[in-house]
Structure 1
Amino acid sequence: MKNEFIRYGLAKHRRIVGILQFIGGISLLIGVFYSTMLALAASTGLALIMILGYGVRIKIRDPFLASFPALFYAAFNSYLAYRWLTLIL
C-alpha cells in the first residue's frame, strides 16, 4: 500500500487514510450492535473515503478493473448509510 500511495501522489496522507478507515470499520461494527446513529455516521464516512478513492483512481487513469473495488465499496457503504437512515426515520 505504501507504494500505491506514492503512485497516487498521496504518500503524506497514507497514515491518516488508514486511521480513518480503521476508525470507520470499528465504528460500523460497534454501531451495528449498539447505535444506529454511529453505524450511519461510520457508513457515510467510509462511503465518502471510497468515493474520494475512486476519484483518485480516475484522476491517475487506472483501468476500470483496478478502480472497481473503490467503486464497489463506495456503493456498498452508500447503501448501508441509506438503510441506516431509513431505520432512523
Structure 2
Amino acid sequence: MAFYTMGVFVSSISFLGYGISYFKGPHMKSEFKRFQLEKLGLLTIILQLIGALGLLLGFWFYTPLLLISAAGLSLMMLLGLVIRFKLKDSLWVSLPALFFMLLNAYIFWIGMSMC
C-alpha cells in the first residue's frame, strides 16, 4: 500500500510539474511542435493538470475520480509512446512516458481492487 500511495503522489506531482513547465519555458512547446501536435499542446497540458489534481482529490476524497484520472493519464502516456515510436525516438527518451503509463495503470489497478 505504501508503493501505491507514493505512486499517486509521484505521478500527480510530476504531471503538475510538466504542466507548469509548459507555461514557464519553451521546451515543452518545442516538443509538441516536433510531434506535429502544436494545436493540441495546450489541451494536452490542461488534461494533464486535471489528471494530476484528480489523482490527489481522488486519493483523499472520491475514489472514482482517482480511477478516471489514473486511466486517463495512462492512456495519454500510451498515446505519447506511440508518437515517440513513430518519430523513432530512442528507448531512453521514451522511458518517462513508459514509466508514467505503467505507474498510472498500476494506480488504476490497485484503485479498482480497493472499490
Q: TM-score normalised by the shorter chain: which range applies?
A: over 0.9
Large movers: runs of 4+ above 2 Å: none
Q: What's the TM-score once normalised by structure 2's chain length?
A: 0.75
Matches of 1:2 and 1:59, distance apart in 2: 19
Q: State the one-letter code of the partner of 1:60.
A: L
* Residues matched between the structures, number: 88
Specify the alignment match of 2:32 in structure 1. Answer: 5
Q: What is the deviation of 1:18?
A: 0.2
**Residue number in structure 2 paired with 1:55:** 82
- Aligned to 2:88, the other structure's residue is in SS state coil
Identify the match of residue 15 of structure 1 among 18, 42, 46.
Answer: 42
Unaligned segments of structure 1, at least 5 residues: none
- Report the CA distance between 1:19 and its aligned residue: 0.4
Shift of 1:83: 0.4
Q: Which residue of structure 1 lines up, in the alignment, with residue 54 of structure 2?
A: 27
- Cα deviation for residue 84 of structure 1 reads 0.4
The 1-side partners of 2:37 and 2:63 are apart by 33
% identity of equivalent residues: 39
Per-residue deviation, 1:2: 0.7
CA-based RMSD of the aligned residues comes to 0.5
TM-score for the superposition, normalised by structure 1: 0.97
1:37, distance to aligned residue in structure 2 (A): 0.8
Query: Residue 69 in 1 paired to residue 96 in 2?
Result: yes
Quote how far apart the aligned CAs of 1:72 are. 0.4
**Residue ranges of structure 2 left out of the alignment (5+ in a row):** 1-27
